[in-house]
Structure 1
């Protein structure tokens, strides 16, 4: 039974399983800020040594990072992005943009982006269609769900919600790491983007156990991601509707889908096909510069960090 479920697991679910874990996201944040060494990762994230070690090891095994020796005796290593890791650039940019738009920035460092193509500074990353170069919004995308999508998450690790972490050093992905760091909440948001509104459809589309489903729906309401609305009074039944705050998360999932398709696509079935209604083409999202409209990549984008004012 587990083997059958493994065969139907989609690329996006594998991407979520690989990345959607709070400590992993905090370590990736550090890597984007230039952290390379074990002690620096621990200092930046506030995570326990054992957790830093296990998550770095996992990212090396997946292929997101690789180890490079900088000292032979005793052996010491730096953790650097592979091509697979650099390909997460659009995900990181959309997470950064969401965090700076929707989270409280008081006492937080500020990051400004510059685009070398147009020489402009303080630009914003825009999720756009590579085919027609227009901004992509969820209402502009047709989601064609294939039959196997309902069994998507079977066979993947069931993580407990990460709680009690020392988050004092988190400077960029603070709320994002809480949302996408909980893979069950991530899967609920994905199901909602695909049209799920009610308890039974969430249960069917995700395969989450009923007690976890209830706790994550309540967590989503607490964080302002879902609004609970009664659609039936006797017996009482509710719908869980997305907020504007949640719709703004859509580009992050789009780029997780793209990353999963690229790096897990051959060994994972893609349960959802995305079509951009504006051009009627299969959606290929890219990051565009808010100033010139040209593509932003890890090679033509730089960022400047400003420490918070004391």
Structure 2
């Protein structure tokens, strides 16, 4: 979050990184297969066979993720036909609200990790009722002002307990590309719990291998792998801070800073659904006014929260560069 913490006592970094609202959310939705399953659900997929055909996910993996999403309350099962034994999976209000996070992830991907399909086509959003084009942006609250890495600070308001990371999800070894112009290549970068944990450490200004390792408690080989991948994809960059021997620290690049709206959107979703009867232990505030923020993905021009039930998706061919091929 690359901001300041407002209590006088120094927070425990492991609890701060592994126990904040975003960490709790990514323990549910932070792996690539889960992100792709939710994306397909937003496109209207409801049946196991349709997910299998579209994604090519191993049957055991798909069954596991659908079970986890159902247990978390993001999907619910219904019989395909009255009295039938076959079930379909439908998004609940909780699952549907993840749409804003998916949109912001798609916005980042379009700028920093385009697939060949995204080079030719753009996914744009329109209001079903008015026909107006929607421009998604994260606001501090509905009808508020844009929230970003430079104008948001955080404050610990209650003790935090580190959340146990998922134990049965390995990083996908081979990338896949689908025929969707959203959430495709980005899952190779951000579709892994430990990648998000490392990125979170960077937002909390941890930059050196040893201090990141101490905060996360992850195995050194896993940490080295995730740091290398984030550098490879341009999210972090290595800069020497010592000459003899040469040692490096890891700093956010522009692409890494541009991921922050995804984090803010996820924080807002977590507040709404994972802390229904209590205040989250870490709150976001405006740097300038000090007011509490509850981030939400809205349309920039109206300030109204984007409701996926009112959104029409259109895949539109990108205009050819001036002087380029038609």
TM-score for the superposition, normalised by structure 1? 0.86
- The question of 1:135 aligning with 2:164 is answered no
Residue 33 (structure 1) aligned to one of 40, 43, 52: 43
- 4+ residue segments displaced more than 6 Å: 266-269
- The question of 1:226 aligning with 2:230 is answered no
Secondary structure of 1:175's aligned partner: coil
Cα deviation for residue 47 of structure 1 reads: 1.0
Asked if the contact 1:29/1:173 (under 8 Å) is kept, the reply is yes
State the Cα RMSD in Å: 2.8
Cα deviation for residue 270 of structure 1 reads: 4.6
Secondary structure of 1:71's aligned partner: coil
Residue 111 (structure 1) aligned to one of 108, 119, 123: 123
Cα deviation for residue 281 of structure 1 reads: 0.9
Q: Which consecutive unaligned segments of at least 5 residues does structure 1 have?
A: none
Asked if the contact 1:120/1:291 (under 8 Å) is kept, the reply is no
Asked if the contact 2:213/2:223 (under 8 Å) is kept, the reply is yes
Asked if the contact 2:33/2:191 (under 8 Å) is kept, the reply is yes
Residue 305 (structure 1) aligned to one of 283, 304, 315: 315
Cα deviation for residue 307 of structure 1 reads: 8.0
In structure 2, the partner of 1:262 is: 272
Q: 1:204 to 1:281 in 2, by over 3 A?
A: farther
The aligned length equals 301
Residue 247 (structure 1) aligned to one of 230, 240, 257: 257
Cα deviation for residue 45 of structure 1 reads: 1.1
In structure 2, the partner of 1:44 is: 54
Cα deviation for residue 231 of structure 1 reads: 0.8
Residue deviations 1:143-180, cap 9 Å, x none? 3357966x624464363221125444554211222223
Q: 1:283 to 1:41 in 2, by over 3 A?
A: same
Cα distance between partner residues in 2 of 1:14 and 1:95: 18
Q: Which consecutive unaligned segments of at least 5 residues does structure 2 have?
A: 1-14, 320-326
